[in-house]
Amino acid sequence: MRYYISLGSNLGDRRRHLAQARSLLQKAGVRIIRQSSIYETEPVDYLNQPWFYNQVIEVETPHNPISLLHLVKDIEHRMKRKPTFDKGPRTIDIDILLADRTVVQTQKLIIPHPRMSFRNFVMIPLAEIAPDFVHPLLHQPISILAQMTGDSSTVRKVEEIHQLTAV
């Protein structure tokens, strides 16, 4: 199954944390197909914290959505993500945004991610790698939704990623 996953970090060596999360996903058998550039992004909701580095990756894995959720939570734990408070600082944040055209609604997991279309730090990198992907509930391409977030937070590219795995 194909997924789009958001990676974010605003504590310590943010770039290294994103690379480590990608590496741990790959070691767990998750194949990275595409990855966006890395963006430095202004915090949203809780503003009094360091800026984030964010990235979106397209992956392929045999994991079902719940199994993938367990995997990403385990990776967050292994990377020493410490619970602070909702929307607070973190070494790593890994969110499942989309799972092909599948819709999942459980107490532990909602796909498509319910707030993704309102967040520049998700939609701008996602639009970079999947502009034509149609959101399964909003029925609009990501490139259009990225222009309609209503989010005024700053998102600036800090590192171009040129390596794309063959699809």
Query: In CATH, what number is assigned to the domain containing residue 143?
Result: 3.30.70.560
Residues in the chain: 167
Query: Does residue 132 carry a catalytic annotation?
Result: no
Catalytic one of 14, 95, 119, 151: 95
Contact 91, 97 (CB under 8 A): no
- Position 82 in a domain: yes
Torsion of CA 42, 40, 121, 35, to 10 degrees: -170
Task: Indicate whether 109 belongs to any domain.
Answer: yes
Catalytic residue among 22, 90, 119, 151: 90
Instruction: State the residue range of the domain holding 26.
Output: 2-159
Share of the chain above pLDDT 70, in %: 94
pLDDT tens digits, residue range 44-99?
A: 988 899 999 999 999 999 999 999 999 999 999 999 887 676 677 899 999 999 99
Catalytic residue among 16, 34, 45, 81: 81
* pLDDT value at residue 45: 84
User: Is 140 among the domain residues?
Assistant: yes
Task: Identify the active-site residue in 14, 22, 93, 151.
Answer: 93
Q: How far apart are CA 40 and CA 154, in angstroms?
A: 8
Residue 22: pLDDT above 90? Answer: yes
Q: Is the whole-model pTM more than 0.85?
A: yes
Please give the sequence-ordered ranges of beta strands (E in DSSP) within 67-125, or none if there are none: 93-99, 104-105, 110-111
Report angle CA 31, 37, 39 to the nearest 5 degrees: 125
**How confident is the model at residue 85, as a pLDDT?**
64
Domain count, the chain: 1
Query: Is 167 domain-assigned?
Result: no
Cα(131)–Cα(77) distance, integer angstroms:
31
166 occurs within a structural domain: no
Give the number of other Cβ atoms within 10 Å of residue 134's Cβ: 14
- Report yes or no on 39 lying in a domain: yes
89 upstream amide cis, omega within 30 of 0: no
Residue 81 annotated as catalytic: yes
Structural domain contains residue 164:
no
Domain assignment present for residue 150? The answer is: yes
Tell me, yes or no, if 90 is annotated catalytic: yes
